[in-house]
Amino acid sequence: MTLQEILDAIAERYPHSFSNDNIIKKINIVLQQMYRTMYRSQAADVYDLFAENPFYPIEYSPETIIDVVVNGEEYPFQNVRYDSQERYYYIIEDNVLALYPTPTEDVVSGLVVLHYKEPETLTTDDLTVSPSFDSAWHMLIVYRICKDLAEIALDGNMVNVFAAAYNALETEYKRTKRSDPHQISDVYGGFNW
């Protein structure tokens, strides 16, 4: 669905007097929440390392970082106020990743940061774009916004209707996702896996 189609579906299911700007702000908030809880798509950004430079600006929230690898070695997160480890990364300012120890040589593509993707911010400037959330499940956005609008209007019956529709669709969405593989321990011995 395009952004315009989502706006139309919301207005069709729950007529309201809010502007498109206001509804799109609500959609952006919902998408951010969905990306943090349900849609955990991963991305990797690669940076060049520079000698004597420990600081590397990032364009995503530090809370989304999964792993940091420097020259093939994993660097754990460390709060600089605590006892330090042999090597680690920490965050300064808002979006600056810092490395310890400071790199001593230039290395092309020497820093890899694996992180969860964040949604693109939607605006009224282009209503033909489609949210970066899986298009098969855009009705989750519609039902969630309708539920929020019904809450604002203190329309308890419709809150329940939209919450039930959202919850049913969310359950369906979660059933379609593969679980992460895990290794089974042979605690009794004798099994060949």
Tens of pLDDT, residues 127-171: 999 998 888 999 999 999 999 999 999 999 999 999 999 999 999
Q: What is the DSSP string of 56-113?
A: EE-SS-GGGEEEEEETTEEE-B--TTSPP-SSEEEEETTTEEEEESPP-S-EEEEEEE
Residues 24-71: pLDDT tens digits? 999 999 999 998 888 888 899 999 999 999 999 999 889 899 999 999
Separation between Cα atoms, residue 176 and residue 136, nearest integer Å: 11
Q: What's the pLDDT at 1?
A: 93
Separation between Cα atoms, residue 124 and residue 22, nearest integer Å: 10
Widest Cα–Cα separation across the chain: 68
**Among residues of the chain, what percentage have pLDDT more than 90?**
73
Please tell me which residue, 148 or 187, carries the higher pLDDT value. 148
Q: Are 36 and 28 in contact (CB under 8 A)?
A: no
Q: What's the pLDDT at 114?
A: 96
Q: What's the pLDDT at 86?
A: 87
Separation between Cα atoms, residue 186 and residue 179, nearest integer Å: 21
Q: What's the pLDDT at 89?
A: 92
